[in-house]
Amino acid sequence: MSEALKAVPAILPVRPRFQFPALERMVGDHPLVYLDTAATALRPYDVIDAGCQFCKYHDGNPHRGLHTLSAEATEVYEATRARTATWLSAPGPESVVFTRNATYALNLVARGLAHRLEAGDEVVLTEMEHHANLVPWLTLAKQIGIKVRYIPIDEDGRLDLSALPALLGERTRIVSVVMASNVLGTINPVARIVAEAKNVGALTMVDAAQAVGHIPFDFAAIGADFAAFSAHKCYGPTGLGVLVGKPEALELLDPLETGGEMIEYVDYERATWAPVPQRFEAGTPNASAVASFGKAMDFIDAIGIAEMRAHDVALNAYALERLSAIPDIRILGPTDPEARTGLVAFVDPRVHPHDLSTLLDGEGIAVRAGHHCAQPLHRRLGIPASCRASFGIYTETGDIDALVAGIEKARKVFAR
């Protein structure tokens, strides 16, 4: 038995997978093997139940009524905001903005800062950005004339930070970087990047969508002005994102949407905005999702982020070992299991990723295939697409064994 295999069962003596009803279902004649957590994590019973309980008994509109249901909805909504701030080590409730998803949060920062940018200003990203932290800046480059520059990656899929000093200068206005790549799994030293960006007076943004709930995240320690993530990637509900920002940084943003409840005063000639964070939450919020996100935080805290991280590292080691043993498989990203989040993307030259994903689904195995909303990164790697297996707290070594068996079956099918 390999050392990687020995490590996994010792991490969690209680099998958390029994808390996830989705894992009780069958896909055709096969039990579900879910290896797509990087896209959306499955939800445990408590998270699902919290949303249902809110809809059953407290389904008022937060901040919009004096009656009991509205007051209860407001209490739940704002209590979760305060809890989220504490959970992230953010300055306080005023630093937490609830959005539709991380993509919206990233767009809010980019477009909200547009009025502070002019032609020739520079924004620094990385070569491993998700489209959500790339396209908004490219749009501003087209509209305003800003320049987008990139921290390169090396052959191991890590950032080459020796290039960073040359990328930062007097025209650098914003440095916006991903904390963990959704393709390579690479965990980036964001605190170091933020510190260097601050030296030239740049604002800083961290895309933490693949980080929060999977690796330790401390907003205060990182030191960034903004960070964003989605609840559904950390065992919470879909339809809810979080933008966390230093209050003074949030004050710099123009609202992306206007309308109900984000205003302070309106007449027929003018409008003024409510204080942050309310000014960024126009319209009726997804209150049931906010209510259930509190239980997602409880779930993660009950297990412990250190234990969750150790589980991912052990699974990384096992998956890297098993996949590396398959001839010709190309694994993307660092070979060190501790240098990556709980995912492994790979290319099989004998089977196209889309064909492989389709065949695996026939075996009940859910993986992601394609460019994973990172087309430029795939071109940088010289490939059109990849297949990605990503892990959650419910993932076991048997799931990875099933993946390997599925790959071997696919090779036989497509060799005919």
Helix ranges (H only) for 145-269 are 164-167, 190-198, 219-222, 247-250
Structure tokens at 336: 């060190």
Structure tokens at 42: 């499955």
Of 133, 167, 134, give the one whose Cα is nearest residue 149.
167
Of 242, 299, 302, give the one whose Cα is nearest residue 84.
242
227 in helix, strand or coil?
strand
- Beta bridge mates, 271: 266
58 in helix, strand or coil?
coil
Residue 264 identity (one-letter amino acid) = E
Catalytic residue (one of 52, 234, 373, 387): 373
Q: 89-102 b/e with 16+ CB inside 10 Å = b? A: ebbebbbbbbbbbb
Q: Are strands 122-126 and 26-27 parallel, antiparallel or unpaired?
A: unpaired
Structure tokens at 285: 């919020």
Distance, in Å, from the CA atom of 203 to the CA atom of 297, rounded to the nearest integer, reads 28
Task: Report yes or no: 296 and 147 within 8 Å, Cβ to Cβ.
Answer: no
Helices 397-414 and 305-324 cross at an angle (nearest 10°) of 30
User: Is-catalytic flag, 373?
Assistant: yes
Distance, in Å, from the CA atom of 183 to the CA atom of 163, rounded to the nearest integer, reads 22
Helices 287-303 and 305-324 cross at an angle (nearest 10°) of 80
Place of tokens 């799931």: 399
Distance, in Å, from the CA atom of 237 to the CA atom of 368, rounded to the nearest integer, reads 20
Q: 356-370 b/e with 16+ CB inside 10 Å = b? A: bbebbbbbbbbbbbb
Sign of the CA dihedral with 286 first, then 107, 40, and 369 last: positive
Reply yes or no: is the peptide bond before residue 277 cis, omega within 30 of 0.
yes
Place of tokens 């991490």: 11
Distance, in Å, from the CA atom of 298 to the CA atom of 304, rounded to the nearest integer, reads 10
Active site residues: 373
